[in-house]
Structure 1
Amino acid sequence: MMMKAAVLQGVKNLEVLNWQKPSPSPREVLVKVESCGICGTDQHIYHGHPGSAEVNPPIILGHELAGEVVEAGAEVTNLRAGDRVSIDPNMYCGTCKYCRSNRAHLCENLQAVGVTRDGGMGEYCVVPAANCYKIPDTMTFEEAALVEPLGCVLHGFRKIQLSPLSKVLIIGGGFIGQLFLQLVKQQNVESIIVSEPAESKKETLFRLGADEVINPMDEMELEADVVIECVGRPESMEFAFKAAGKGGQVLLFGVAAPETVISVSPFEIFSKELTVKGSFVNPYTHEEAIALIGNKVIDVQTLISHRFKLQDLPAAMAEYPKLGVSKGVIVY
């Protein structure tokens, strides 16, 4: 049997095709995809950069996905047809030194749905049963698809230390910055400033808890205890180091292109005694992210700015930066 899927054929070459409907192996399930988020990493891959691992077209992208189980493999005992699930896309080998030292997300043999194997930008997707998480009946499939990015944000969030005295600067007020903003707000910090040039995002940022929204184009002196960079551009990363005060923490969360380099003063890191951390994917944060969304602690539903049909994807991916997308999802 065949299905419709958006297949990446090569750099900047995405086509909606009739594609072979997959069948699950004994430990896999076949999921009818109901919603799939479009991640900034999908744009990176579309333009020829790697994702969490190397990408080899032709492949169906989409690692933020949710849907309904329609068939379970012979050895699957915890899922059955009709179950509503959200998918953690990352698969770890379990035998490399990173997997064996509680750092599975740094796995030397990392595989991922929508990166190294076909993902959610198709009507059906086969995934390991171990990567499926049942979702509450009250959770929409759109919310369930956005569990994965929240899980990634949770991993980064755990790398910073906050107190009621913390002055926090979030660089980038898009979807990821909005998730960080909500998590930071829960900690009752002294103040949260968001650096975001788009006037259209201000209302949402204030609604989610920002105390101040600044335009990065404006000249100003800032001194934050914690700086969370969510953009991945050279100028925004360099700004993060300048804005960090003495004893400050800098979290570089935004995904830069592999060839990107930045100019940072080692003396500044030394003299301010800065702590600098990176954050990669979402090791075992999926269940907590489901709870945060399901219990209405974190809002993702109202942050969706664009919805696309499968047939719209080739044009949308080609024009994505021009569309003003804060968060896009595919609906089926």
Structure 2
Amino acid sequence: MRRITINGPGSVRLDTTGPPSPPPGWARIRVVACGICGTDAHYLRGMPLPPGVSYPLVPGHEVAGVVTELNEPAGDIAVGDLVLPHLIIPCGACESCASGREQRCATAPILGIHEPGGLADELVWPVSRLVRANGLDPVTAAILPDAAATAYHALTVAGVPDGGVLCVFGAGGVGTALVHLARVLVPEATVVAVVRSEATRRRVAELGVPAFTAGRLKELRREVGPADVAIDFTGSPETPAQAVRTLRPGGRLVLGSVTPGDLNLGWITSFVTREISVSGTYTSTIDDLRQVVALLRDGRLDLSGMVSHRLPLDRATEAFDLLDRRPDGLVRIVAEP
């Protein structure tokens, strides 16, 4: 089968290998579509790998695929089902798992990092970590396990009050999904976005959401007022300090990007005197993924336009150049084997 491998910083290629064989309790899956996100690009640029991980990597953690082989009974999963692998395999035994916070499991392998990912013709994954997606468009469904489920989880962490103001920093895959989901899950809140370019501002404004470029934060506060919650998914170490300036006293900053570099939140006194709180939000639970699948299936969630670029697998290495250049209109890139 074909697969994309990151062989080290700056080295990515398409190569071939034998097909995978599922161990007991796992499924063999033919990949139909695989999203490519900024975390994949970070490892190509040389971001330190997690403990226990080494090159080469087969990236890709946003996958929609068809089950082609099961080696034992698998509950409601059957051969021929369109499925979405949830991107972590929690241990199920630690304190985090026992309390329902599986995304905090310290030993959970991650698809596309610890285990070969979906930028390939096929992969294997535990049946218990699959969510059925029959009837959904595979290309749109592929971005649910990360872009949409991560955004959903971030909103549960953020606790946006009814009638409050939510400021979303960044309008890539997760940020745009956040805007869509916030309008569904907290319909009484005012949602506003802060983006990088004028072209992105226009794109977000077409969704019916006020959007401002990063240099217009004073204008944002004047027109919208201070925010109750600011959520940052830009991947920029400089943005959190900007986000703090949009918050009201008692507001909350939620950080969601996994990115290299140190964090600078600005003058600490403002956090103390205004009682600003800071939270991290990390990936999602499998239930978060089930929820966004249900929202999409019911027609409550509209993600049309989220996939801005589509490439065949043999051109997927071009996606990393796109992520570096960030051309106008880039939201999510999907490879289709």
Contact 2:53 2:113 in 1 (8 A): yes
In the alignment, what sits opposite 1:331? 336
Alignment equivalent of 2:33, drawn from 32, 35, 38: 35
In the alignment, what sits opposite 2:314? 311
In the alignment, what sits opposite 1:207? 206
User: 1:331 Cα shift?
Assistant: 1.1
Structure 1 segments of 4+ aligned residues over 4 angstroms from their partners: 50-54
In the alignment, what sits opposite 1:320? 323
Alignment of 1:183 onto 2:186: no
Alignment of 1:140 onto 2:140: no
Contact 1:155 1:281 in 2 (8 A): yes
Separation in structure 2 between the aligned mates of residue 106 and residue 253 of structure 1, nearest angstrom = 14
Separation in structure 1 between the aligned mates of residue 89 and residue 189 of structure 2, nearest angstrom = 39
Note the alpha carbon deviations across 1:196-234, whole angstroms, 9 max, x for none. 132222343123331x21111236263212111111312
Note the alpha carbon deviations across 1:58-116, whole angstroms, 9 max, x for none. 23111100111111123534433211111102001122332233322111211022110
Note the alpha carbon deviations across 1:158-195, whole angstroms, 9 max, x for none. 01223343122111122222111122223233532211
Matches within 5 A, 1:47-58: 47-50=45-48, 55-58=53-56
Distance 1:315 1:178, change over 3 A: closer
Stretches of structure 2 lacking an aligned partner (at least 5 in a row): none
Separation in structure 1 between the aligned mates of residue 297 and residue 89 of structure 2, nearest angstrom = 24
Separation in structure 1 between the aligned mates of residue 71 and residue 120 of structure 2, nearest angstrom = 20
Stretches of structure 1 lacking an aligned partner (at least 5 in a row): none
In the alignment, what sits opposite 1:69? 67
Contact 2:26 2:70 in 1 (8 A): yes
In the alignment, what sits opposite 1:247? 250
Distance 1:245 1:170, change over 3 A: same
Separation in structure 2 between the aligned mates of residue 159 and residue 78 of structure 1, nearest angstrom = 30
Amino acid corresponding to residue 8 of structure 1 in structure 2: I
Alignment equivalent of 1:298, drawn from 297, 301, 309: 301
Separation in structure 2 between the aligned mates of residue 76 and residue 252 of structure 1, nearest angstrom = 37
User: 1:312 Cα shift?
Assistant: 1.2
TM-score, normalised on structure 2? 0.90
Note the alpha carbon deviations across 1:309-331, whole angstroms, 9 max, x for none. 11112233245321523210001
Separation in structure 2 between the aligned mates of residue 87 and residue 93 of structure 1, nearest angstrom = 16
Separation in structure 2 between the aligned mates of residue 53 and residue 207 of structure 1, nearest angstrom = 42
Contact 2:88 2:110 in 1 (8 A): yes
Contact 2:39 2:259 in 1 (8 A): no
TM-score, normalised on structure 1? 0.92
User: Percent identity at matched positions?
Assistant: 23
Separation in structure 1 between the aligned mates of residue 207 and residue 334 of structure 2, nearest angstrom = 21
In the alignment, what sits opposite 1:279? 281
Alignment of 1:122 onto 2:114: no
Separation in structure 2 between the aligned mates of residue 171 and residue 131 of structure 1, nearest angstrom = 30
